[in-house]
Amino acid sequence: MVKALPSSALFGKEFVPQAIIDRPLSFFADKLHLSVFKGHDDLDEYEAAAVEVGDGMIIELKHQSGYPNDTTTIYLPYGIDDLAKITLVISVIVQEFGIPRGWITWQRADDPSL
């Protein structure tokens, strides 16, 4: 199940980038009816959306302005650090979003040391 959440669902939580998808955030906003908000962090300005997937996990979809155009990064909650679990969660997200796995251009399993 995919559920759009307000940006406030992300406040006070930490997220870690775990996969990059070769589609703009606007694609997911349209497909999943997400509210996109703008912000900035220590790295750059960004656009993001909060999403609930699976059994209630909150994730963040984000595009940093310094990243390549037409890409969206999937951020999982801080604390999910087991590589097998990260890979499984990314697979579930891809399935729930109804997108081809081939759209993933990078995921944590490609370079766990990052």
Q: Is residue 114 in some structural domain?
A: no
Q: Is residue 64 in some structural domain?
A: yes
**DSSP letter assigned to residue 71:** -
User: Which residue do the tokens 């912000």 mark?
Assistant: 39
**Cβ-count burial of 77 within 10 angstroms (0-12 exposed, 13-18 middle, 19+ buried)?**
middle
Domain holding 89, by residue range, is 3-109
Cα atoms in the 13 Å half-sphere on the side-chain side of 14: 5
Task: Work out how many domains the chain is built from and give that number.
Answer: 1
pTM for this model (two decimals): 0.94
Residue 88 has pLDDT above 90, yes or no: yes
User: From CA 55, how far away is CA 69, in angstroms rounded?
Assistant: 31
Q: Is residue 40 in some structural domain?
A: yes
In sequence order, what DSSP letters do the residues of 10-36 get, joined into one string?
GTT--EEEEEEESS-HHHHHHHHTPPP
pLDDT digits (tens, 9 = 90+) for 39-73: 998 878 999 999 999 889 999 999 999 899 999 99
pLDDT digits (tens, 9 = 90+) for 2-40: 999 999 999 999 999 999 999 999 999 999 999 999 999
